[in-house]
Amino acid sequence: MSKKLAIEITNLTKSYEDVKAVRGIDLKINKGEFYGLLGPNGAGKSTTINSITSLVKPSKGSIKIFDQDIEKNFRFARSKIGIAQQEVSQDWFFPMEKLLYFQAGFYGVKKTKAKDRIDYILNKLGLDEHKNKKMRELSGGMKRRLQIAKALVHDPEIIILDEPTAGVDVELRHDLWVYLQELHKDGKTILLTTHYIDEAELLCERVGIIDNGKLIVEDSVNNLKKLVNKSSIVIHLKDDITSINFLNDFNHHISEKKVYVQTESPNLDLPKIILKFSEASVNIEDVHIPQTSLEDVFLDLTGRKIND
């Protein structure tokens, strides 16, 4: 049986006058999946997710939420999705709690139910002691949490977050990650955009790498890493040695007291290599096997770094 799709994007295209922001993206996100769109600034991430919530009108393509076209069934889509946008809306005059009640009203959540829900979210996001503060009294981190709170007020099945931890301090980032993982465990479908590699690696079951308006690859983090042939062992030497003939069975080179060994199976080859050093009485200072990251995948595919 095929998995139920929460979001299905077909051939999404968006141009702003002469800028082609999104160039034909196809994306299928399963119900309950935690999916990350990873890419540099300007890649087209926000345009893509804002199209899902009709904040952006696509030039071409179609989007379905639980099998229903978002244009034909706008209300249905709206009820299923909560989005935390990157830009903070300019509701300067009302306290945070009031803004959440407005949001609940917008989604048709009844007042009694809204109270429980708002209390719960304020508590979950560590905002309750700030609930009477107005926007201008909030720190950057609080504003971001408020954005997320607004997205969650109607308890949506699909949660879309645009760069949820951009500009947020380390501790709050961690708290938000924990909460997002909790929401995921509760069965929510989560789609986030990020240019933080560690965020995508830690949270997302599948990652789509987006660059220049195109989805260039998507898979689980582990499978994406397999795309990069970077397996190697780095041996730091105690002394400056320029050639090592006992290692001729291995593809290697030496530079500045470091021996770089190229191998497909570093864990298997490591003991053999150490033994050779030991037999030749060459002293080793340290050994490590560099881990591949999604940055390597992006670099391999595009020739650039994500955050350049």
Residues that bind ligand ADP (CB under 6 A): 16, 19, 21, 39, 41-47
Dihedral class, residue 263 (left if φ above 0, else alpha if ψ from -120 to 50, else beta): beta
Taking Cα atoms as reference points, which of 250, 247, 245, 248 lies closest to residue 231? Answer: 250
Residues contacting residue 150 through CB under 8 Å, at least 6 positions apart: 82, 84, 99, 100, 103
Residue 259 phi, psi (nearest 5): -105, 125
Say which DSSP state 3 is in. P
* Contact indicator for 207, 294 with CB cutoff of 8 Å: yes
CA–CA dist 254, 243 (Å, integer): 7
Report, in Å, the least distance between residue 246 CB and ligand ADP: 50
Smallest separation (angstroms) from ligand ADP to the CB of 213:
7
Residue 164 CB, shortest distance to ligand ADP, in Å, is 13
Rounded to a whole number of angstroms, the minimum distance from the CB of residue 41 to ligand ADP is: 4
Strand partners, 19: 16
Residue 165 contacts residue 175 (beta carbons within 8 Å): no
Residues whose CB falls within 8 Å of the CB of residue 61, separated by 6 or more in sequence, listed in order: 9, 10, 11, 12, 13, 24, 25, 51
Q: Looking at beta carbons only, is 41 or 223 nearer to ligand ADP?
A: 41
Shortest separation between residue 232's beta carbon and ligand ADP, angstroms: 32
Contact of 190 with 159, CB cutoff 8 Å: yes
The residue (of 84 and 100) whose beta carbon lies closer to ligand ADP is 84
